[in-house]
Chain A
Amino acid sequence: MDPAQVAETLKHGAVPTAWYLALSAVLFVIGVAGFILRRNIITVFMCIELMLNAVNLSFIAFAHEHKQVAGHLFTFFVMVVAAAEAAVGLAIILTVFRNRSTLNIDEIESLKN
């Protein structure tokens, strides 16, 4: 979007949809960065949740763009799945901690080679 159009939109008191999408991308990349660079398992999991939220934002933005409610539905299902995934994932982390007494993701490498 060129600056003239953006200024026009802002004057009307509206926010360009592209900004929402940009925000979504930024949050997603932050999540990826955390996922790759952090060593604590739980922190890594939280970065996964961050990524999912970024995608939700993107869905809502497009739902508003096309004036359809399907985007909201999709977000709803993403949230359900995220909840289920969080439950099971944390249970796995608990089990791993019980067996190895470490939360360092680099030390869980029994699948090496």
Chain B
Amino acid sequence: MDPLFFLLFAFIAVACGVNVVLQKHPISSALSLVAVMASLAVLYLLQGAEFIAMAQMIVYAGAIMVLFIFVIMLLNAGPEETKGRSWAALIFGVPAIIGLMGALAYFMQTGMPELGSVKFGDWKGGGAYEVGYALFTEYLLPFEVTSVLILIAIVGAIVLARKEID
């Protein structure tokens, strides 16, 4: 069963990812991205990362993507124009992308040692208990720092998005 689920949701993820890139209207891209994140959450679940899967759905798909959609609607962004050019991006971009793909593929093939396999349920160490325990003991400092980071983000977002008082 596992390979089947993997292939299904991997296919969804890739298809929707390609869709994100190919759609003209940003709202369509945003919705495709939500689908990608959802399928990724399922894939996390298949690997026994329950907590992260839930966090992915709640934070990413539920908050961040909603934020994106709010902004798109706020700006009333229409379909993308075809004006503007960047020859550098086009001339060097495509080869760079292909090169990146090739390099990743090659070095993954040759550089990776023998890897194991994933079966649903063969590792129970990704639950809320384990993650929470590590978060508040070994990774306490980064945890506190991230709270400061969020504070900065809040302040920054408010300052930047404020309308001028005229």
Contact = CB atoms under 8 A, between A and B. Distances in A.
* A, B co-complexed: yes
Interface of A: 1, 9-10, 12-23, 25-34, 36-40, 42-43, 45-47, 49-50, 53, 56-57, 60-61, 63-65, 67-70, 72-73, 75-77, 79-88, 90-95, 97, 103-107
Given A21-B112, A57-B43, A64-B123, A46 B160 contact: no
A17 B160 contact: no
Contacts of A76: 52, 55, 131, 135
Contact of B83 (A19, A23, A91, A104): A104
B98 to A, nearest CB: 9
B6 A19 contact: yes
A90 B52 contact: no
Given A25-B105, A27-B17, A36 B97 contact: yes
Given A36-B96, A64-B118, A97-B75, A72 B105 contact: no
Given A25-B104, A86-B64, A87-B67, A46 B29 contact: yes
5 contacts: A14-B119, A80-B146, A81-B146, A83-B150, A87-B156
Contacts of B119: 12-15
Given A40-B80, A45-B68, A92 B160 contact: yes
Interface of B: 1-3, 6, 10, 13-14, 17-18, 20-21, 26, 29-30, 33, 36-37, 40, 43-44, 46-49, 51-52, 55-56, 59-60, 63-64, 67-68, 71-72, 74-75, 77, 80-86, 89-90, 93, 96-97, 100-101, 104-105, 108, 112, 114-119, 122-123, 125-126, 130-131, 134-135, 139, 142, 146, 149-150, 152-154, 156-161
B153 A69 contact: no
B100 A95 contact: no
Contacts of A94: 71, 74-75, 160-161
10 shortest interchain CB distances as A-B pairs: A106-B84, A84-B153, A34-B21, A14-B117, A91-B160, A14-B119, A36-B93, A17-B115, A91-B157, A91-B161
A91 B162 CA distance: 9
A70 B72 contact: no
B151 to A, nearest CB: 9
A10 B126 CA distance: 23
Given A16-B117, A23-B10, A40 B149 contact: no
